[in-house]
Amino acid sequence: MSEAATQTEELHALLGTTIAERYRLDELLGIGGMGAVFRARHLLLKRDVAVKILHPQLGANDDISKRFDREAQSAARLDHPNIIPVTEFGSTDDGMKYMVMQLLSGKELGELLGEPLDPLRGIDLEIQILRGLEHAHNNGVIHRDLKPENVFVTTDHEDQEILKLVDFGIAKLIDDDDDDEEGAVQPLTRLGLVFGTPRYMSPEQATGSTIDHRTDIYSAGVLLYQMLAGRVPFEHDDPVSLIRMQVTVEPPPLPDTIPLPLQRVVSMMMAKSRDQRYPDARSARKALQAVQAQLADDAGVPIKMSPHDTGLVDPRDIYPPGHEALESNPAFRAGSGSHPGAASGSGSGVGVSGPYDPSEHSGPMETEASGPISTSAATMPPVSGYEAPKPKMTQMSLADALTQAHPTLQQRSPFAEWMAAIPRMWWYVGGGILGLLLIVALWPSGSDDESSDEGSSSDAGDVALVGKDDDGADEPVEEAPGVDEDTLVAIDVALSSKKEDEALDLIRPARDKLPDDPQLLWREGKALAMKRAKSSRVTALERYGQALDHDPSLTENPDFYGELNVLLRVQTIQEEAINLALQKLGPAGHNFLIELVNVDDPRAMLDWVARHRVLDELSRHPDAMKLVDVKLNLARDLYQAGESPAPCAEFSRALTSIATAKDLYFVEHVFGVSPPAPGSDTEDAAVCETLDAKLVVVRDLYAAAHPDEAAQYTSSGPGKRQKKNR
């Protein structure tokens, strides 16, 4: 029998066995070179999970064993909607390595790539890949093996496509001891072989050179190319020839139908020199979002936004490199390569064109059929840095410019409302969907409309807004309060630099003047959330709540929503988080509340009172209740009945519902639970007297409906088992 056949036979022999005393391996889902993935049943939580097992024969191989550990360690430190979560890993008593992951329903990305995807769909999928990479890179993990097989496509409860990065088997933790320099790691090689997949491998990875996070940007660029073209850029039967092509050959041109700005993004992601690529996944994502905005506008379709693009307005999205607002902070200085429009090359004499600039296109996006996508000096003009085109004069208000160029800013702060009333200004939008350079100025005097002379002020710092009365005459309007723009930018610079105390020093005097300004309250909440003390985080929640009091539309802002959702999940302030979600968030808080009542970990579950506060809110919303694990919560009602105001009445109610259901799920619970002690209420004490008999009746019902399963919990069965805590 061959070695592969022997391994397969050993893996099939594991079916039906239980590892780590709680994961029963029920189905073999797939076999790979290193191991296999099983559908498993968590026997305590009654949930299906995916369990990856290292081939038993390979466990003794030190290199392979370390690679398996690397995958588990890499994935376990990541927590992002676009990365598959690893909840546990370890070794069994006999030395077999395993890791436990979320069980996904869907398909590999490769199953979608038999033909070109619609550009908007391809962009949306690629943005999700880049979001996952942003999170991984920010947490010191480089994937190093991006390919369609390692990108899983599933759907959420709204049937929207969700991508999950999987298989961090050759990922690298940047803070490992063998790093040569900051952010750079040695290639993973063995006996002259380079680990990775040649079709998607970056040139530096292919040549065994030192790599950093930009190797993932190249591989993501290849995936985007394949989604748009329906084929990979390089193909060859000989892996060595394929690697050589990745290093020396320019990719063939994309189809004529692909808009030129989108081709430019692919070109920059796939630059042979990593110094000519986007400096990070964030920059690539923002460039794609700029193209997405224009394509969606041309097609007349809405843009899909995500609450996971978190963070307040980044100063790099407002000012070009070299601006004094950035030069004052080393993290944002020109030449740092941190801005999507900055040339990141150093000393090469070859630059790259920046991301799509909407100011260059007044109509639908152009496409270009001539010539291959190239990043060579022959096709990419040298640049020394980001150079913004001259601002264009327009009648568009600042708020309208924000709405068009930055869809995540649909809602207006009081400051934006105030600015929207100013009819003439200079503005420029450049460098991506978030790349806003807003230069606002009033004409010194006059207007194209002669009637606007009256009521205007020559002092731009003290503007009196005017309106029209019923007779058409100007009448004064009280100036709407707003935060000084420079103050907001300074606060955002401090927050982006993780200098929460510096931000608070700016926020507090501003709030003395405008105590109810939602933008200031939001920023104060974000600054306080950066502190680890419980009291600071409780106050942070209060500030987010106060911001919502004064501007309820903030729940529609993905930045605000994303930040608040992170804060809500801090375990030490759970009670306060529940209060905020119930009192202020409405439907926007339902996802958080659903997570709380469906939590798998018994140690993190809510007590009866808190859980029923949440369930009472969700029960008013049928769509939300569809996502609640009713069976799990009904079983918990049995175990937690003693915490309710009327323990015996609550136990009886739950038992009645379970008796009606006769669901296999409840077998172990009806045989593993005991009636609670009676409460102080006389009426409840009377109910308690009937519970023992009622429980016997329900057990008899379940023994008749599910005899084989029930036999495991009765004295007549092969082994009496009791499960006590859910």
User: Catalytic residues, which ones?
Assistant: 145
| 3 state DSSP class of 14 | coil
Helix (H) or strand (E) holding 535: helix 534-550
- CA-nearest of 485, 484, 503, 504 to 495 is 503
Distance from C-alpha of 322 to C-alpha of 335, rounded to nearest angstrom: 9
Residues 6+ away with beta carbon under 8 Å from 21 = none
Is the separation of the CB atoms in 262 and 228 below 8 Å? yes
- CA-nearest of 164, 177, 186 to 78 is 164
The response to whether 52 counts as a known ligand-binding position is yes
The residue count of the chain comes to 726
Distance from C-alpha of 220 to C-alpha of 465, rounded to nearest angstrom: 50
Residue with tokens 């398909």: 107
Residue burial 121-152, b: 16+ Cβ < 10 Å; e: rest: ebbbbbbbbbbbbbbbbebbbbbbbbbbbbbb
377 vs 276, 385, 688, 722, CA distance in Å? 11, 16, 84, 72
Residues 6+ away with beta carbon under 8 Å from 204 = 210, 211, 215, 274
Distance from C-alpha of 497 to C-alpha of 267, rounded to nearest angstrom: 31
Q: Where are the alpha helices (DSSP H) in 551-607?
A: 558-568, 574-580, 590-597
622 vs 462, 510, 595, 618, 627, CA distance in Å? 52, 43, 16, 8, 9
Q: In 55-169, where do the E strands start and end?
A: 86-91, 97-101, 107-108, 141-142, 151-155, 161-165
Amino acid at 356: Y
Residue burial 215-228, b: 16+ Cβ < 10 Å; e: rest: bbbbbbbbbbbbbb
| 3 state DSSP class of 51 | strand
Give the CB-side neighbour count of residue 461, counting CA atoms within 13 A.
Answer: 2
Distance from C-alpha of 508 to C-alpha of 363, rounded to nearest angstrom: 45
The rounded radius of gyration (Å) of the Cα atoms in the chain is 30
Q: What is the DSSP letter of 91?
A: E
Is the separation of the CB atoms in 424 and 443 below 8 Å? yes
Q: Computed from CA positions of residues 110, 112, 115, 120, in that sequence, does the dihedral angle turn out positive or negative?
A: negative
Distance from C-alpha of 646 to C-alpha of 89, rounded to nearest angstrom: 41
Backbone torsion region of residue 611, taken as left when φ is above 0, otherwise alpha when ψ lies between -120 and 50, otherwise beta: alpha
Amino acid at 247: V
Q: What is the DSSP letter of 569?
A: T
Alpha-carbon dihedral 487, 341, 441, 516, rounded to 10 degrees: -30
Residues at the binding site are: 52
Residues at the binding site for ATP are: 52
